[in-house]
Structure 1
Amino acid sequence: MEFDFIIAGGGSAGSVLAARLSEDPAVSVCLVEAGDSARDLLVRAPALVAAMVSGRPPLHNWALHTVPQAGLNGRRGFQPRGRGLGGSSAINAMLYIRGTPADYDGWADAGATGWDWASVRPWFLRAEGNIRGAGPDHGADGPLQVADQRHPRPITRSFIEAAGTCQIAPNDDFNGPVQDGAGLYQVTQFHSGPRKGERCSAAAAYLHPVMGRPNLTVLTRTRALRLVLDGRRATGLVVRGRGGETTLTARREVILSLGAFGSPQLLLLSGIGPEDELRAHGIAPVHVLPGVGLNLQDHLDYTISHSSPRRDVVGLNPRGLMRLLKAGLRWRKTGEGLFASPMAEGAAFLRSTPQEPQPDLQIHFVVGIVDQHMRKLHMADGWSAHICALRPFSRGTVGLTSGNPLAPPRIDPAFLSDPRDLPLLMRAARRLEEIIAAPPLAPWRGRRLYPHNGSDAALEADIRARADTIYHPVGTCRMGQDDLAVTDPALRVRGISGLRVVDASVMPRLIGGNTNAPTIMIAERAAALIRADRA
C-alpha cells in the first residue's frame, strides 16, 4: 500500500497529525497504531483511569518497566503508557497544563529555533476549545475540549485552603498570566454536547470525528517494526497486523509519533542511532546518530497518603464501591459527579525557595489512595498528595533490550543520578508535609500509610523506597542544532530525508507541568511545518 504520509503511532501527536494532514484532500495519510480504537467505557469515563493505570491487566496500556534504578534502592520503576488511539491521553488524568513561557524560551535558547513562547502560543490556542471562551490566554474553537471541574470533592477545596495557610495563594488558571498558586486543574473533557462529562482524548477530539475521510487510512492493532530506507531516505514502514507482515510505502514522509520510548526504539531498530548500541544488538548501522535515546527526562513523584475518617473520598471498601456504582449511574445520565472527576482534582505550583525565577514544584492532590500506580490496593477511604520537582537535573537513556522489534525498549531514567535532585525533592516533601498538616485538612487526616520518624535520613529512605514516575517522559529524540540533536527545529531527523519525529521525545527539556498539552501543541505546529514544506 502506498500513501503520501505514513504516521507510526496513533497517540496524542499521531492523532493530531493524521487529522490535520488529511484535511488536504489531495494527500493520502496512513496512521499505524498498535492498540485498538480506544472508544470503550474505560476510556470514556474519567474515573476509570484507576482501572487502566496499573497495567493489571494491561488495558490500553503498554505497562513498561525501567531497568533497576540505583537511586531508588535498585527498584525497577513502572512506566504506564497509552496503547490505542489517543495514546496516553486515553489513560491519563486529563490535566491540561502548558508550562510557563520561560520553558519554551529555554527550548529556543537550547537550539530549538522557532519554539519560543511567542511562536508556540498560537498553536496552543488553535488546539483549545476552552469552556471559558476565547481570550488572550485561551482558545475557544479548537478540537480539544478543555473544561472546568464541575463537582470537585469538598476535600479538594480544603486542600486549597490548607495551601493558603502555607502562603500559597489561590489560582484559578494555571495557564494564565501566573502559574504560582493552588487551585483546581482544568481537564481535557467534553463540556458540551452528547458526550458531556466524557474524556476528550486526542483521538476523541481530532481523529474519531474524521476517520471516514476517503484519504485517511487508520490501521489499528498493527505494530510498526522498522523503517524502510533507500540510502539516506525513508521510503516506508514495515508493519505487522492481522494479516501478517507487510510494507507500507511513503511517497513524501514517514513520521514517528511513538513517544519518548517508542520513537528512539524504532530508529534504533532501523539502524539509526549510536553505533555501539546498534552493534550490541546485531544491527548494522545505517546512519550513526549518537543522540538517539539520550536526554531522557521525567518527573519523579513522591506521594504521601492518608486514610480518611470522612467518607466523601474514594475507597475500595463495600460502602465506597457502592458510592462509586451510584456515581457511575449518575454519570451515565448526566455526565456529572464523581465519575466525571479526574481524581487528581487539586493542584499547586510553588517555588522551593523564594529565589527561584518560576515555580519548580508541582502538587497533584488525589481524592483516593494511590499506591504504586494503583498496583497496591487499599480498602480504606483516603486520599493522596503527590509532589515532584519540575526541572530535574538527572538524564537517562532509552535503548534496546533486543533486536526483536516486539521486545520492550530498555528504559533507564537514571532517577536521582544527579546529586542536585535528591535535596530538592526532600525540600519539596517537607513543603507537602506542611500543607497536609494545616488545619483545613484535619477532618480528613487519618492514618498516614507510610509514616516515618521525621528525620532527614528517614525521609531520604522513604523517597528511595517509594518514589517513581508521574508519567512525563520526554527528550529522547531532542530537537536542536548541535551534534547530539536527533531532530532539527522542523522535527526532521538529521541526516535522513523523508523522516520526522513528532511527539514528546523532541522536547529539549521538560516543561513545568504535565506534558500532554505541549505534545498536542507540537503536533499542531508540526502539521503546519509539513504543509509549508510542500508549498
Structure 2
Amino acid sequence: MASVLLRRKEIGKEPFECRDSQTKIRLLHKISATMEACVAQTCASAATASSPAFLFTQLIKALLVAQCSITSQHDYPVDRTQEILDQNLNFDFIVAGGGSAGSVLANRLTENPDWRVLLVEQGDDPSLASDIPGFQSLLRRTHEDYNYKVEPSKYLCQGMKNRSCSWPAGKALGGSSVINAMIYVRGTKQDFDGWKDQGNDDWGYEDVLPYFLKIENYHPEVVAKHGDKFGTGGPLTLRPYNYSVSGAQDLLLEAAKELGIPVLDMLNTEKNIGFGKAYGALENGVRQNDAKAYLNPIRDRSNLYVMKSARVDSVVIAGKRATGVKVTLKSGRQVELKAQKEVIVSSGTLASPHILMLSGIGPREELERHNIDVVADLPVGKHLQNHLIWMGVYLTFLNKSAQASNSQENIILDKTYEYLLHRKGELSTGSGTDLLGFVNTKDPNAKYPNLQFHFVPVPQNQPMRAVELGKALNFVDDFISEMVQLNSECESIIFGTTLLHPKSEAQLKLKSTYPEDQIEIHTSYLDNQEDIDLMLEGLDIARDLLKTKPFKDLDAKLHRLNIAGCTAYPTDSREYWECNMRHTTATIYHPTGSCKMGPNSKDSVVDNNLRVHGVEGLRVIDASIMPEITSANIHATVLMIAEKGADMIKKEWTVKAEL
C-alpha cells in the first residue's frame, strides 16, 4: 500500500521516459525510506543481501526494500525442526528434498489429513533476488546454488575456469525452479511413448498428459483458442514473457519464416518443429517457483512438517526395508527420523544417487570401493544424461540505435526503475531467452526435433550483460574480456545449439563416504563423433539465417571468437568450430536418468511405480528416474513425474488401508 501511495504522490502523470537520472534516484530513495519498516518486519534477510556486481548494489537494495509488493518470507511454510525434535515425532512419509518434485509431493500427500508428512530441505526459503526473473544468471554460485563441478575432461569445457563445467542446481525450497529460466515445455509425444516402449507401462503420452494438465494454470483464453490440451486452475501460473530484447526475437522469427521454418504461436501442441515463444512460470513480473506454487497454499496444514537447512545423509534400512533417514541439522547435530510407510528420495539427479549410494544402494564395485555394505546392487549413478548447449556461436551486427553515450549506470537505473514501478522491462522476464527453436536436421518432414536452439540476445553497449553471462557459464577471464569488447562494438545473438539426445552419457561416483563431499561427475560428452557432427549441423542453420533478408539488411556476421586453443585453425573451418565447441559447450543443467526407471534391476534403479528394486518402502521421484531425456527443457516433466508419483502412492496406500 505504501508503494501505491508513493506512486500517486510522487509520480503523477509524468511519463517514465521523461525523467532524468537524478529524479529517478530521488524517487528510489523515497521508496526505500517509505518501505523500511516493512522490510524490518517481513524480510530480515534483506539486510544481508548483496549483488554479485558492484553497479547493481544500490539498485538491488531499492528492489529489496520494496519487497512487500513482490514477495514475503511468509509465503513459505515455517521451519518445524525444533517441534519435531522436542516431540520426537514419527511420520508416515518422509520426503528427502524440497525442490520441484518434493514440493509437489508434500502438497499432494498432505491432502490426506491422516498422513503426517515430513519434507527435509538442505536450503532455506528462496531469496527475494530469486523472485526477480532478470536476475536468474546472477544466482549462479550463490548460497542458492549447489554449484556442482564436473571432473575435468579433454573433450569439453576447455574454456571454463579450471577446465571444469559448472552444473548449477537450486539449493532452496523449490529447488532449481528458484534459479532456472522459468521455461515451461513438456516434451514430445515420442518422448513418453518411448518410455512406455522400454517396458514402463502407464508412462506413455496419453498416460502422462492428465498430469501436465493438473500442473498448469494458463489463461482461460489459451484453452479457448487451442482446446483442452492446456490446463487451467493448476498450481503453476504460466504466462508469456512480456519483453523482447532489442527486437532480436522479431528478427529471428522473420528470418525463420523466410527459410520456411514454421513459426509457432504456442509450444506444447502436436506441432513440435519450429520457432516459438515459450510460456514461463511467472506472474506480474515475478518468478513463480515451485515452492510458491505448491507449498505456499498449504503452509498452514498441520500435517505438513518442514525441516530447513537440514541435509539428508542416508536412508536407514532394516533388512530390505527403508525405515527412515539420517539428517544433519544446521547445528551439525545428526538425528534419525522414522517413516512408518515410505521414504521418498526427491533430491534431484545428482543428490538422489548420492543418498542412495551412501545408504548401500548402488553399483557393487563402487560401494565396495568405499567399504559400504551392499543392500542392493543397482546401477545408481549410471545412464546420466544431460542437454549440452554450445555457447560459442555469435551472430553479430551493428545496432545504430544503441546509445554509446548512455552510461551503464543509467541503463541499469532505467531497468530497475521500470521494474520497480511497473513490473515491466528486462528484469521482469528471462532477458529474451524465451524464444526457442526446434528443428530436425536429418529430415525436413520429420515430426520430432533432434536439435533445440536457445537464443540469448546481448544488446550493444551493455557490458554488464556480457559479464553476467560469462560468469554464469564459468568462462575464463580472457574470454569474458573479449565478450565485453565485442559488446562495445556490436549487438550479438548467441546461437545456443542444444543437443537433445546425446549419444554420450555421464556417470556419478562417490568422492568419499562423507555426505558433505559432493558427488563426482564424470562425463564423456563430445567424445562421440555423431554428437559433434549433429552440433555442427546446428551451425549450418545459423549460417542459413544469416543469408535471409532481415539479417542481410543488418550486415550480420558469424563472429570468430579469439580462443587461445583455436588460433591455428582457419576462420570458419570445421576444425575451428569443433575447437570452439570444445571450449564453449556447457550443460544447460538438465541432468536426468541417474536412477533410471525400468522393468528390471540389471539396467534400472526403480520400477514403473518408482519403487527402488529390491528395497521395500523406498521410492525415488525426481528427474533422475527418466529412462531417456526429453526433447525439451525438463522442468515441466519433473513436475509431471512428481504429480504422477504422488497419485501412485495415494492409490497404493488407500488400497492397503481398505484390506
Q: What TM-score results when the alignment is normalised by the length of structure 2?
A: 0.76
Whole-Å Cα distance in 1 between the matches of residues 539 and 317 of structure 2? 49
Counterparts of 1:120-519 in structure 2 under 5 Å? 120-131=208-219, 132-134=221-223, 135-153=227-245, 154-190=247-283, 196-243=284-331, 244-289=333-378, 291-303=379-391, 304-305=393-394, 309-310=398-399, 319-343=407-431, 344-354=433-443, 356-368=446-458, 369=466, 370-371=469-470, 373-376=472-475, 377=480, 378-379=483-484, 380=487, 382-436=492-546, 438-441=548-551, 443=554, 445=556, 448=559, 450=561, 453-482=571-600, 483-519=602-638
Whole-Å Cα distance in 2 between the matches of residues 270 and 324 of structure 1? 49
Question: 1:469-489: CA deviations, max 9, x gaps?
Answer: 111110010111132110000
Question: 1:374-400: CA deviations, max 9, x gaps?
Answer: 434444264422111211111221121
Kept after mapping to 1: 8 A contact 2:390/2:496:
yes
| 2:153 maps to 1:69 | yes
Distance change >3 Å, CA 347–CA 256, structure 1 → 2: same
**1:25 CA drift (Å):** 1.1
Distance change >3 Å, CA 137–CA 448, structure 1 → 2: same
Kept after mapping to 2: 8 A contact 1:309/1:446:
no
Relative contact order, CA 8 A, sep 6+: which one is greater? 1
Distance change >3 Å, CA 231–CA 130, structure 1 → 2: same
Whole-Å Cα distance in 2 between the matches of residues 444 and 81 of structure 1? 39
| 2:18 maps to 1:18 | no
Structure 2: unaligned runs, 5 residues or longer = 1-88, 459-465, 563-569, 655-659
Counterparts of 1:1-40 in structure 2 under 5 Å? 1-38=89-126, 40=127
**1:100 CA drift (Å):** 0.5
Whole-Å Cα distance in 2 between the matches of residues 406 and 387 of structure 1? 35
Q: Find the structure with the greater CA-based Rg.
A: 2
| Structure-1 residue corresponding to 2:32 | none
Paired letter, 2:495? A
Kept after mapping to 2: 8 A contact 1:477/1:485:
yes
Whole-Å Cα distance in 2 between the matches of residues 69 and 318 of structure 1? 42
Paired letter, 2:269? G
Kept after mapping to 2: 8 A contact 1:347/1:363:
yes
**1:308 CA drift (Å):** 5.6
**1:495 CA drift (Å):** 0.5
Kept after mapping to 1: 8 A contact 2:272/2:447:
no
**1:418 CA drift (Å):** 3.1
Distance change >3 Å, CA 372–CA 350, structure 1 → 2: farther
Distance change >3 Å, CA 424–CA 50, structure 1 → 2: same
**1:84 CA drift (Å):** 0.4
Question: 1:24-55: CA deviations, max 9, x gaps?
Answer: 111111111111110x22111000002013x1
**Partner SS for 1:330:** helix
Paired letter, 1:256? V
Distance change >3 Å, CA 422–CA 68, structure 1 → 2: same
The worse-fitting range, judged by mean Cα deviation, of 144-153 and 270-279 is 144-153
**1:173 CA drift (Å):** 1.2
| Structure-2 residue corresponding to 1:533 | 652
Distance change >3 Å, CA 296–CA 318, structure 1 → 2: farther
**Partner SS for 1:182:** strand
**1:14 CA drift (Å):** 0.7
Kept after mapping to 2: 8 A contact 1:111/1:479:
no
**Partner SS for 2:249:** helix
Output the aligned Cα RMSD: 2.2
Whole-Å Cα distance in 2 between the matches of residues 419 and 225 of structure 1? 39
Whole-Å Cα distance in 2 between the matches of residues 162 and 67 of structure 1? 39
| 2:137 maps to 1:50 | yes
Whole-Å Cα distance in 1 between the matches of residues 649 and 402 of structure 2? 47
Kept after mapping to 2: 8 A contact 1:145/1:188:
yes
**1:167 CA drift (Å):** 2.2
| Structure-1 residue corresponding to 2:128 | 41
| 2:205 maps to 1:117 | yes
Kept after mapping to 2: 8 A contact 1:82/1:88:
yes
Please state which structure has a larger fraction of its residues in helix.
2
Whole-Å Cα distance in 1 between the matches of residues 125 and 647 of structure 2? 26
Whole-Å Cα distance in 2 between the matches of residues 7 and 89 of structure 1? 18
The worse-fitting range, judged by mean Cα deviation, of 432-441 and 101-110 is 432-441
Question: 1:340-393: CA deviations, max 9, x gaps?
Answer: 121213211111122645111111112234336343444426442211121111
Whole-Å Cα distance in 1 between the matches of residues 585 and 306 of structure 2? 38
Kept after mapping to 2: 8 A contact 1:314/1:383:
no
The worse-fitting range, judged by mean Cα deviation, of 462-471 and 139-148 is 462-471
Number of matched pairs: 524
Counterparts of 1:87-106 in structure 2 under 5 Å? 87-106=175-194
Kept after mapping to 1: 8 A contact 2:166/2:473:
no
**1:248 CA drift (Å):** 1.2
Paired letter, 1:354? D
Whole-Å Cα distance in 2 between the matches of residues 325 and 262 of structure 1? 39
Kept after mapping to 1: 8 A contact 2:99/2:173:
yes
Paired letter, 2:149? H
